[in-house]
């Protein structure tokens, strides 16, 4: 029985890490697409191509990844009985921040598709730093487990 639990844990952990990588890649890529989209002339073929790329990234990479990350992450926490761990609570708060960021980016993609360009390229480049800083903090919490 211990072998089965150990193998289950390893497969959950591997899947969680794989889908975190996919999700993070999408979270890094989407704001870059927004910058290029905003720099393209409105209603141009180039702008339409960026809109299409943004929607594909959201639907094919980001949405499935966030779902699998949450499902496997919660399964890992349950399997290991980590619910009382302070570092896990902090990690989950940061994952909620990333999830909110993901939702905000999905809504900004819709705004861009309607021709609303409320942020500058510089602002989007700065916003693009949010997932990097957040995931660095998450990795520290998971590896170091400071509390």
Query: What is the number of structural domains in the chain?
Result: 1
The pLDDT mean for the chain works out to: 95
Query: Would you say 91 is a known binding-site residue?
Result: yes
Query: Would you say 110 is a known binding-site residue?
Result: no
Phi, psi of 137 (to 5 degrees): -65, -40
Confidence of residue 25 (pLDDT cuts 50, 70, 90): very high
Please tell me the total number of residues recorded for the chain in this structure: 147
Q: Which residues contact 42 (CB under 8 A, 6 or more apart)?
A: 115
pLDDT at 1 over 70: no
**pLDDT tens digits, one per residue of 39-90:** 999 999 999 999 999 999 999 999 999 999 999 999 999 989 999 999 999 9
CA 52 to chain centroid, in Å, comes to 19
Q: Which domain holds residue 25?
A: 2-144
Q: What is the DSSP letter of 41?
A: P
Token pair listed for 120:
């500058």
């Amino acid at each position: 029985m211990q072998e089965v639990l150990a193998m289950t844990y390893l497969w959950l952990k591997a899947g969680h890490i794989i889908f975190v990588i996919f999700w993070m890649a999408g979270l890094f890529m989407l704001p870059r697409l927004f910058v290029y989209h905003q720099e393209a002339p409105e209603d141009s073929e180039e702008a339409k191509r960026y809109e299409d790329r943004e929607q594909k990234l959201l639907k094919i990479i980001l949405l499935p990844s966030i779902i699998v990350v949450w499902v496997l992450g919660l399964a890992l926490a349950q399997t290991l009985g980590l619910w009382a761990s302070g570092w896990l609570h902090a990690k989950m708060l940061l994952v909620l921040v990333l999830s909110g960021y993901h939702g905000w980016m999905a809504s900004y993609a819709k705004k861009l598709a309607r021709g609303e360009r409320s942020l500058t390229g510089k602002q989007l480049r700065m916003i693009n730093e949010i997932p990097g800083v957040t995931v660095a903090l998450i990795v520290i919490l998971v590896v170091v487990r400071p509390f």
